[in-house]
Amino acid sequence: MLTSLVPVPTGLFIDNKFVPAQNNATINVENPATRKGLGSISLAQKADVDKAVQAAKLAFETTWNKVNPAKRGELLIRLSQLIERDVDELASLEAVDGGILFNDAKNLHVPQVAETLRYFAGWADKVTGQTLEIPNGVAYTRREPLGVCAAIIPWNAPL
């Protein structure tokens, strides 16, 4: 188990850097098991979400959609390896933030994240279209990303 503090950026991750929320808005975070405060993190405002979507759209249009599918898979594999490398730090954060046992976080939650990333990495170069026979010809489909969106989703585990 870790005996030192794990540094955690508390800003919003926009355009490949951590930045404070508009008007420095924050929200307090507490350990649900002890109800003790853990700190505060940036609280995204509408303008922050708009900025994040614009940054993601620019990255999609100029970089990400030009990365071939095999390389996308490699990048997801690399992320899974980094998560496995830092399992103790991530499990510590998950334990205090989620109010769960450290061993459950280390042996279940964090490995599930790495496994999920490896699963999708395997699909990165396997999404293909179809060729269909139609009267007097052939039609084909090509599957490709359409763009970027912002979403608020319920998420409890893993991580």
One DSSP character per residue, 6-58 reads: PP---SEEETTEEEPPGGG-EEEEE-TTT--EEEEEE---HHHHHHHHHHHHH
**What is the pTM assigned to this prediction?**
0.81
The H or E element spanning position 134 is strand 131-134
- 33 band by pLDDT with thresholds 50, 70 and 90: confident
* Domain at 12-140: CATH code: 3.40.605.10
Predicted pLDDT at 102: 94
Angle at 106 between CA 100 and CA 107, to 5 degrees: 105
Predicted pLDDT at 4: 62
Q: Rounded to whole angstroms, how far apart are CA atoms 27 and 13?
A: 16
Question: In sequence order, what are the beta bridge partners of 18?
Answer: 13
- 32 versus 44: which is more confidently predicted? 44
- Indicate the domain borders of the chain: 12-140
- 142 band by pLDDT with thresholds 50, 70 and 90: confident
Burial label, 79 (beta-carbon count in 10 A; 0-12, 13-18, 19+): middle
Whether 150 and 53 have beta carbons less than 8 Å apart is answered as yes
Amino acid at 134: I
